[in-house]
Structure 1
Amino acid sequence: MMTQTTARTTAPQPLGLSRRPSPSEAMFDAFRAQDRPAFIGYMPYGFPDSETTHDALRTMVTHGVDAVEIGLPYTDPVMDGPVIQAASQVALDNGERMAGVFRAVETVANAGGVPLIMSYWNVVFHYGVERFAHDLANAGGAGIITPDLIPDEAGEWIEASQRHGLDRIFLVSPDSSDERLANAARNARGFIYAASRMGVTGERDTLSSSPEVLVERTRRAGARNVCVGIGVSTPEQARTVGRYADGVIVGSALVHTLLDDTGRAARDVREGLSALAAKVESLAEGVHNARR
């Protein structure tokens, strides 16, 4: 698990509800007015090192990513495929600390993107839920995506996020029941993350029709903004998903640009950032022109 301090503090935040509007919802509203989907990109914090992470985040926003998921590396990433696992292991080996993640959030915000954190719940829980919410809001973060936290078990996070005006993004899958979809839609803020299929993340040559059906079901369950991720890796796939989803999420295909041919170590930084910029531009064109 990511290295972190163990001391806990009580944040000087009143116990009322924040009036801060949802940054994610504002982004989707702006794109909806243009009949365009948003492009959401993922990059693990601390890969290949903290300095390069900031360069990569700025590169992503500058070349077409609208919102960035900053991943918190974790020792047991049950949903992550080999590309993200390899990148996360590099970050863990670097011994990055949680404070650096909030600086990464500031980097995305300063570059003009919407900063989100993607994290397994255990990392947030051990850092301190209230403390995490306070620090994320202070850094300008929009909210967090919690792949292993379901709304039924998210009471503490729901309360903390309401106090600090943070988005709560829950995952649904093609196997989710209508009841589960309605529960996620009722408790989410910002958007719902629709996993295109069951299983781990990773690049895929083809996508099935199940994501479109899932988006329709999730909207019928009450969700206003539904984004699709897991498996999207080419401009053609991004364009297809962008025709029906409010946002297209790409992770492994972006992280892959910073890995060498072995797939286990970082490539030359200059080459990697150049490849990342090119990949982002091609995907952004597919996403943003999906409905034209």
Structure 2
Amino acid sequence: MSLKKMGLLAIAGILIVAGALVVFRDHVIGTKNAQAEITDLGSLYEATEEIAAAKEQFQKGMEPAEIVTKDEKPHVAFVIDGLPDRTTTVRLLDVLKKHGASAVFFVEGQNAANQPETIELIREAGQEIGNYTFVGVAAVQELPQERLLAEICRTQRVVEVLAATKPKLFRAPRTVYDEELLRALRAAGVECAVKESAHYAPGWLKDEAGAAAYAATVPAGSIIAIDIAVPVEAPAQDAAVEDARPAVDKQPTVEDKPVGERKAAPVDAADELDWLLTALESMGKTPGNIHDFRKIRYVPAAPSAAVQGK
């Protein structure tokens, strides 16, 4: 075999080896790096240090967080319970912009981590993001302290990473805002819990007439919650906890719907919000900023002093 042929074979061998190394780099090492990045992201959202710090602060006897609640002023505020899908979020943001209105998007930490682009849309629109626990769990006052702090702190961490700021406000479905919960919130860096005084779920208002009828039942000074998410029930030992809303504090709403019906939203949530804002504005109930609403402190003198959310 001539030296020329041997040289060509050697070059071909080198090229084959180099190609194999490139494939190994791109497909094997690249895959491992991607897996490492996913693992790192999961670790980032564990909030181990934040939970430990909150636990330490709680044990020091933190003052309870305040509660934002209804007042008598001629305004209303909107809170959105649960992170909507991206398309719905865009539509809701467009409606809020149309009316010059603000709303607080209370998001689950887990859903926020899975929808970073949606969180970015909310942030860019200038709307506030609140803490709705990590999975949207109901009756959080019944949770063990460790789980409670984890639900709060992990969501704080996710939102901080994605939106560059920690939530100042907290909500959870069917939750009693008692002293221990409010102290846990303060220990985790949350300033206030928000108690709604009216609520509805997508699909309840149906049309402009339905929205106007509902608006007529909502007093000025109300905080209106839009039930986007279906609550996650508390652990098994808490399964017997029921919605204990006192009858005397019945919130303005449309007729109650079974859970199965509530999941179906035949009417666009953004259209309903548009109709409702239009109706409220025509009645002199203008959309306001939730931070302008009344703040109260927990009074531990009697059981009835605990403030309950829906």
Q: Is TM-score (shorter-chain normalized) higher than 0.5?
A: no
- Structure 1-normalised TM-score? 0.44
Q: Which has the higher contact order (CA 8 A, sep 6+)?
A: 2
Q: Which has the larger radius of gyration?
A: 2
